[in-house]
Every structure is written in structure tokens, then in C-alpha cells.
Amino acid sequence: MALSKKEREVLYTKYDGRCAYCGGLLKKGWHADHIEAIVRDFKYNKEKSRFETTSTCRKPENEKLENYNPACASCNIQKNSFTIEEFRYNIKKFVASLNKNSTQYKFAKRYGLIQENDIPVTFYFERVEANQNTYN
């Protein structure tokens, strides 16, 4: 199910035009993320030698406006079909991965250009909800 133009407008305003995850301003081409994945079915396209999504999904019950978050393209692509907690866990692992695999990252850190912060990964929507609970 694709969202209607009106539903996309409603979703856009959910966090005042910001990505529910990183909080960045949504730009043209922003994504409507399924909070709980619908898990699309894939089919192998022999001519193109790649998997492609089909029009069917394994969790059609998650296809509802309440299950959408507005997201920037990069957050949506990175979240993929992971749950919120899996997405948080994956982000948390990025620093260890960079320390293990990226020479550029390690050099930048060695020369003081990068400072790591061992803090919990908090999503924008969680900060918004925490502020609402503080002031209401």
C-alpha cells in the first residue's frame, strides 16, 4: 500500500518535518518508514541477476498509517526491516566497526579530529516524547 498524498502530509508533520530517527530536516524524497516491517517478498530476476521486491509482503497487518515514521532516506535505508531496538543496536556497533575496519577513521581519531562518546543511541522521536512528558 502506498500512502495517499494526504497521508504523507500527515506523516510529514508527525515530527514537524524532521526525521523520526536522526532529527534531521526532511528533504525532498524523504521516506515513509514502517516502524514494524511489513517484510516484503523477494523474487530473483535472472535477467538482471538480482533479487527484486514483489507486490506482496509477509506482515500486511503492519500496513497502516500509525505504523509509519517519517525518515530521511539514509536512516530508512539503514534501518531496513530491523526493529527499533535492532536499529539502535546496529548504530551502536558502528564505532567498533570503524575502529576495526577504517584506517581513515583511526587516523582521524589518533589526530584528535574525532572524539568517541559512549552514550546510548537515542532517537529523535524518543527525545520529542520525553520533552512532551516533561512539560505536559
Q: Which chain residues interact with Zn ion by CB under 5 A?
A: 19, 21-22, 24, 72, 75
Tell me the C-alpha to C-alpha distance, in Å, between residue 15 and each of 11, 93, 135.
8, 26, 17
Quote the least distance from Cβ 80 to Zn ion, whole Å.
13
Of 37 and 72, which has the nearer Cβ to Zn ion? 72
Of 22 and 57, which has the nearer Cβ to Zn ion? 22
Quote the least distance from Cβ 71 to Zn ion, whole Å.
6
45 within 8 A of 52, measured Cβ to Cβ: yes
Of 30 and 37, which has the nearer Cβ to Zn ion? 30
Helix/strand/coil for 34: strand
Q: How far apart are CA 40 and CA 54, in angstroms?
A: 7
Quote the least distance from Cβ 96 to Zn ion, whole Å.
21
